[in-house]
Amino acid sequence: MLNDTIINAERELYLTLLELAQQQPIAYEWLKQLPTWLNEIKDKANYAHAPAYQASVARLPNLNVNNVDLNSDTLTIDTSLNESERKQAMALLKQLMPWRKGPFQIGGQIGDDESGIKIDTEWHSDWKWQRVAPHLGELKGRRVLDVGGGSGYHGWRMAGAGADTVIIIDPSCLFYHQFMAIRHFVGTADAHTHTKDRGRYRTHYIPVPLEALPAHSQLFDTVFSMGVLYHRQSPFEHLQQLRGQLVKGGELVLETLVIEGDANTVLVPHDRYAQMNNVYFLPSVAALIGWLEKVGFSDVRCVDVAVTSTEEQRKTEWMTYHSLADFLDPNDSTKTMEGYPAPMRATLIAKR
């Protein structure tokens, strides 16, 4: 028997935007494009694996879930799986590999792989959240946009922190269906509890890039862009687009690769950076602060700088391809294979 997880999630997204449009008419522009956005991500002509991904989600077993912890470092779904259900769910979730952002635990106890399923993702995304969360403004009751949200791990954590509405965007067909797989088990655990919207999901996913959204929507109290800026050929355009989604006085949380240096230091990799061919600009923290101020942000502050370790990003059973250790100089881990400084990430917070 197939489940209706994707249909239900997309209906909830539509209803959320419809209600928002009654308060903020710009959201009608989102609603007009929503059918196209949702149809394109499932079109085999665009994504050859889309039908297989949809089938994997639809065939996930329906379980009795006792509790969902969105505040745990490992997003935890408390449920009991019999051996048949565990094997079925495990096989279907592995058809959605590679899993890059997490971790997630479905059934069993954390660290117990015999009675449950631990999706041990490439990234310890919980470590990033631990670095970022102490510096955030209040998320409770706020409308949040998570740009480039991957499988949705951080979006779920934002909901766990009390956000009223979280909209994750990312154009990846695989990540969209990974989110839907986790949504299947989360069910209504993130639903509103107040009378007006009781039962309505708070966490949603639109499979588009930032530039596809209506410009200057000014719908969000907080906008996150983590691990995106260095992939953009025009970083200033990206920063302007982020600003355009924020309400006046709203908060931007920007996390990106940086290098050491002064306000004039920016690395432009000649070819690849850590074997990635889509990395364009790595500024110093001082330069990045200048960029943010130049496009109109204020109260810009750097709250964290961390060198990425091979413990935080690594190959696992759920991501079996090359990872960070394969991209560093084997004789000097402070450098990439290309001789550039090893990945270092900074988190900056700014006001619109």
The model carries a pTM of 0.97
Using the 8-state DSSP alphabet, how is residue 103 labeled?
Answer: -
pLDDT of residue 113: 62
41-85 pLDDT, tens digit per residue, is: 999 999 999 999 999 999 999 999 999 999 999 999 999 999 999
Q: Are 321 and 267 in contact (CB under 8 A)?
A: no
Question: Tokens standing for 44?
Answer: 């085999």
Q: Per-residue confidence at 111, pLDDT binned at 50, 70, 90?
A: low
255-275 pLDDT, tens digit per residue, is: 999 999 999 999 999 999 999
Question: Tokens standing for 128?
Answer: 């990033």
Mean pLDDT of 28-47: 97
Question: Tokens standing for 304?
Answer: 């964290």
Q: Which amino acid is at 5?
A: T
- Cβ neighbours of residue 113 under 8 Å, at least 6 residues apart? none
pLDDT at position 341 over 80? yes
Q: Are strands 143-147 and 165-169 parallel, antiparallel or unpaired?
A: parallel
3-class SS string, 139-187? CCCCEEEEECCCCCHHHHHHHHCCCCEEEEECCCHHHHHHHHHHHHHHC
Neighbours of 7 (CB within 10 A): 10
- Lowest-pLDDT choice from 186-200, 275-289, 292-306, 319-333: 186-200
